[in-house]
């Protein structure tokens, strides 16, 4: 059987949904499970809605109306008004109405997961209905009953034994009857609350199903021709990799390559399942294959940009050395606030760390660290990571930039720049 993942860009409008169905038609007769993300920029809009609700902002209802109108416009282009999908989507959006009627829960991450998850639930309703509309027999599956996680909201940890048991019990029978459409990014707890797996987590969902079902392969359909050495929005003359090893792909995603979610590769590597990254607008194109036996040849270095970064520096208030005890306490606070370190450096009297800026988490972390340390920070930075670098490329990348922190190893250089 095959697992396909379609991201938000591939279903951002009615034409995208039609194209998805056309891609699926090329694989008729195969057992096929499809993982779908929220449409277009829906997750971003739902994040704004969640923050507006939590902050008591008056923009809450206008954001919600715009979001509903966006989806209804797509449905009106795909279906007759009598199609039951209109009721299904309306009933799903009601879950947001219910959520925002009450006073905000103290736990922002919990609220986030209950609201932001609606994007995938709606997109998969629409995709499933359209596949059936064009004669591709399809069943909608609520992923929250299968991908089981702990109660770490916004970063749910998958409970693999429970997850695989649930998937293996039901999904093979459903696949024999037709296509299965389910949501990426989401999970469920034992108390039936919704969790999410981290932004862009739909790739990870696809690898979870593939590894539990022993899939032949996973294909993630993107708006790029495959895995490129750099983001074409920021760099010209990018090159596509025909193949990559699991190891190199893990390194690239660890440093922030956005084409694949960081947790995607390991379950596939364990099960020796290849991952194909292919363009949804040219499904016959070869794309990139990520698998075990790949001799990586790097014509150009791999360049990864992470924007909206914070560089935070700590020093002891009594000017003492940064000891192992200090570092232990620092890392504990980072872990408790679910802040992931992208780069770090220590000296005798200070510890510097670069990470993604998320307002709510940063404020809590800053307050906790300030109780025991002197804290300075710079924000609105970019973290540049270059793998398989050369001196010429580094000089070009550094030109015109202020480098606040630089770290060099045998294969990789990282720079926090302004």
pLDDT beyond 70 at 96: yes
List pLDDT tens digits, range 221-253: 999 999 999 999 899 889 999 999 999 999 998
Domains of the chain in sequence order: 2-291 (3.40.1160.10), 302-417 (3.30.2130.10)
Q: What kind and span of H or E run contains 303?
A: strand 302-316
How many Å apart are CA 249 and CA 290, to the nearest integer? Answer: 7
138-141 and 179-183 beta bridge pairing:
parallel
- Return the SS3 of 139: strand
pLDDT of residue 337: 92
User: Mean pLDDT, to the nearest integer, of 375-401?
Assistant: 91
pLDDT of residue 397: 85
Structural Rg of the chain based on CA atoms:
22
pLDDT of residue 9: 95
Greater pLDDT, 206 or 347: 206
pLDDT beyond 80 at 135: yes
pLDDT of residue 294: 65
How many Å apart are CA 182 and CA 143, to the nearest integer? Answer: 6
User: Mean pLDDT, to the nearest integer, of 33-46?
Assistant: 97
pLDDT beyond 80 at 64: yes
Encode 382-406 in three state secondary structure: EEEEEECCCHHHHHHHHCCCCEEEE
User: Mean pLDDT, to the nearest integer, of 284-309?
Assistant: 88
Q: In the predicted model, what is the mean pLDDT of the chain?
A: 94
In terms of Cα–Cα distance, which of 16, 213, 33 is closest to 139? 33
Q: What kind and span of H or E run contains 127?
A: helix 118-133
pLDDT of residue 322: 86
How many Å apart are CA 80 and CA 131, to the nearest integer? Answer: 14
pLDDT of residue 296: 66
- Return the SS3 of 307: strand
From start to end of 112-226, where are the E strands?
A: 138-141, 179-183, 186-188, 194-196, 217-222
| Sign of the dihedral through C-alpha 72, 77, 78, 82 | positive
pLDDT of residue 391: 82
Please enumerate in sequence order all residues whose Cβ is within 8 A of that of 62, keeping only pairs 6 or more positions apart, or say none.
none
Separation in Å, CA 362 to CA 68, 130, 138, 243: 31, 42, 43, 38
Residue 415 near residue 406, CB atoms below 8 Å: yes
How many Å apart are CA 82 and CA 260, to the nearest integer? Answer: 38
Least confident of 245-249, 307-311, 375-379: 245-249
User: Mean pLDDT, to the nearest integer, of 95-109?
Assistant: 88
pLDDT of residue 103: 86
pLDDT of residue 259: 80
């Amino acid at each position: 059987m095959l697992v396909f993942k379609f991201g938000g860009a591939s279903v951002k409008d009615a034409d995208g949904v039609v194209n998805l169905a056309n891609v699926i038609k090329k694989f008729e007769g195969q057992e096929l499970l499809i993982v779908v993300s929220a449409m277009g920029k829906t997750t971003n809009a739902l994040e704004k809605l969640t923050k507006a609700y939590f902050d008591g902002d008056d923009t809450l209802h206008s954001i919600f109306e715009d979001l509903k109108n966006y989806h209804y416009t797509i449905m009106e282009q795909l279906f007759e008004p009598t199609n039951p999908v209109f009721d299904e989507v309306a009933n799903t959006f009601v879950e947001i109405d219910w959520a925002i009627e009450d006073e905000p829960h103290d736990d922002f991450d919990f609220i986030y997961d209950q609201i932001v998850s609606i994007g995938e639930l709606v997109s998969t309703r629409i995709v499933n209905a359209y596949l059936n509309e064009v004669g591709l027999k399809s069943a909608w599956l609520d992923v929250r009953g299968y991908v089981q996680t702990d109660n770490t909201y916004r970063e749910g940890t998958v409970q693999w034994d429970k997850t695989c048991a649930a998937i293996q019990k039901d999904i093979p029978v459903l696949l024999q009857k037709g296509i299965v459409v389910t949501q990426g990014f989401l999970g469920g707890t034992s108390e039936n609350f919704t969790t999410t797996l981290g932004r862009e987590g739909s790739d990870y969902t696809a690898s979870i199903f593939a590894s539990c079902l022993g899939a032949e392969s996973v294909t993630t359909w993107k708006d790029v021709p495959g895995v490129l050495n750099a983001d074409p929005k920021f760099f010209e003359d990018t090159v596509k990799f025909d193949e990559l090893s699991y190891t190199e792909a893990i390194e690239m995603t660890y440093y922030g390559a956005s084409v694949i979610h960081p947790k995607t590769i390991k379950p596939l590597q364990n099960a020796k399942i290849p991952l194909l990254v292919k363009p949804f607008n040219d499904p016959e194109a070869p794309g990139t294959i990520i698998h075990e036996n790949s001799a990586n040849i790097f014509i150009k270095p791999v360049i990864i940009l992470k924007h909206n970064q914070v560089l935070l520096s700590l020093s002891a208030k009594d000017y003492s050395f940064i000891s192992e005890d200090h570092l232990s306490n620092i890392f504990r606070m980072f872990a408790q606030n679910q802040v992931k370190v992208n780069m770090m450096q220590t000296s005798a009297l200070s510890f510097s760390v670069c990470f993604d800026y998320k307002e709510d988490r940063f404020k809590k972390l800053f307050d906790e660290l300030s109780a025991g340390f002197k804290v300075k920070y710079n924000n609105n930075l970019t973290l540049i990571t270059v793998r398989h670098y050369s001196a010429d490329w580094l000089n070009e990348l550094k030109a015109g930039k202020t480098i606040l922190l630089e770290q060099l190893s045998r294969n990789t250089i990282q720079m926090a720049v302004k």
